[in-house]
Structure 1
């Protein structure tokens, strides 16, 4: 079926610069959002183990380069496989797989090479970090992209696993992830966060997902059911900062305030008639929420750089 789609979706007009093609191909914003938790996990492992930053700079670079390539490879393969969906959806029509700027065969090759080189580099860190990298890659490429995305509304849960392992990669490059509660809490934060974040996207792009036949929750169950799920996951975020008391009260208080604000936004969703505007506000809030939390984690452990 994939080959049948390929024959009909490759225009021949080259529309974008090489830099733009790369940006769309690797989904640059998504890539950055996944690499930041890797960095955070590594720095927190340094902080809690008492290790020095200077003494592990080489390991940090290997971890960041390797994980970035693995994640980029998975995102590129996702673009290759989802070309039929991306052709229908307005927000993805600039991807080179749709415009024809890069052939699908080349895209698949790039995805495989990036993934392979990334895994090779990760082997120079630790076996555990490499394993988490593989779990994230396999879950995103096969379990999410190729299996569940087009079939089940709970594809979001599966996709969330791939993003949630990122801090485990960073931590495990230095210390076993199951030796401390912090990396497990980081996993839970990202896993839970991705649910309302993805619901926001699905509600904003409801018409496109429906036209593409993607089984997102709003498309199958409607907006009200989606908002109930949304609210449930935001409430689940509330206790998590209190497991990170070792990061200090500034972090715990900031995280709690962010959770309260998100809860208020959730409640407003049940009263609004403009679902698109509410979903857009929720989307941008969710993006800032995660970045603030993980950057703050780095800031509160800043003395490791000295």
Structure 2
């Protein structure tokens, strides 16, 4: 190799590496802006409820694939828009908290004006797509969006410890969206799915708030552990987990296998919750609760689909 070519090759390699790092950085920023795991966690119940609505109404997926695409894409855009707007509004809090200080709204990688525009645009596009499904589904999507963006993010999050209850409502309407595309939600299944998601989010969010207690306290966010302390939070977590115990028995139409899976999951979580009264490391215990809650809701909703597969 000619010696005069070496510097050029090294420069090209550095440029290529720099471009790769920039691409990864942009991907990471987008994932952070949309809160990737949270977005997926909200879309899964939409899919599950859509699937179950087909199952209980003896409808085929093949005959409704276009509705499925409109539902999933539309609801994803609405949820994504709400999460982006949350990032836009909470930039002052995110600057203080370690868990959010790398979000592009904080680092300045994305301008606040661009983020606001993106959040509004995604929301509008999502609602337009959902309007091609049913009005009822669109209304539930709006309830979830309004509750999260206005009632939770802009009104209660910084002021009141009951902000978690309000936030849980927004996450719990997602199965109503999926079901309402196929049939009215005056059916036991979507109602129980709503209750499961609403109750689940309380101990799930409390576990996060305990883990990040110092950060929420510094940012002056009125989460229950900050306002009332860990003992009260633990008691409420166990109470909410216990409320999950009877719900699977309202879904006997899903079969014995599902009831057994759901009951074992509920008992396991209750044991983890009660153990919190005897542990010395509250933060470690909160982390275990967080991990359990994430796996709990994923397994529960995926199993609903699996037990209704027609083979």
Residue 142 (structure 2) aligns with? 134
Instruction: Give ranges in structure 1 of 5+ residues lacking alignment.
Output: 1-13
Deviation at residue 49 of structure 1 after TM alignment: 0.2
* Aligned positions, number: 290
Distance 1:203 1:247, change over 3 A: same
Q: Which runs of 4+ in 1 moved over 4 A?
A: none
Distance 1:134 1:242, change over 3 A: same
> Are residues 1:117 and 2:99 paired?
no
Secondary structure of 1:214 counterpart: coil
Deviations 1:110-152 (A, max 9, x none): 0000000000000000000000000000000000000000000
Deviation at residue 301 of structure 1 after TM alignment: 1.3
Secondary structure of 1:302 counterpart: coil
**What aligned pairs does 1:90-239 form with structure 2 within 5 A after superposition?**
90-178=98-186, 180-239=187-246
> Are residues 1:28 and 2:39 paired?
no
- What root-mean-square deviation, in Å, do the aligned CA atoms of Structure 1 and Structure 2 show? 1.1
Distance in 2 between the 1:278 and 1:18 partners? Answer: 34
With normalisation by structure 2, the TM-score equals 0.92
> Are residues 1:248 and 2:255 paired?
yes
With normalisation by structure 1, the TM-score equals 0.94
Is the contact made by 1:16 and 1:101 (CA closer than 8 Å) also made in structure 2?
no
Distance in 2 between the 1:263 and 1:170 partners? Answer: 29
Instruction: Give ranges in structure 2 of 5+ residues lacking alignment.
Output: 1-21
Is the contact made by 1:137 and 1:162 (CA closer than 8 Å) also made in structure 2?
yes
Deviation at residue 17 of structure 1 after TM alignment: 2.0
Residue 73 (structure 1) aligns with? 81
Residue 271 (structure 1) aligns with? 278
Distance in 2 between the 1:114 and 1:173 partners? Answer: 20
Q: Which has the higher contact order (CA 8 A, sep 6+)?
A: 1
Between structure 1 and structure 2, the one with the greater Rg is 2
Distance in 1 between the 2:24 and 2:56 partners? Answer: 46
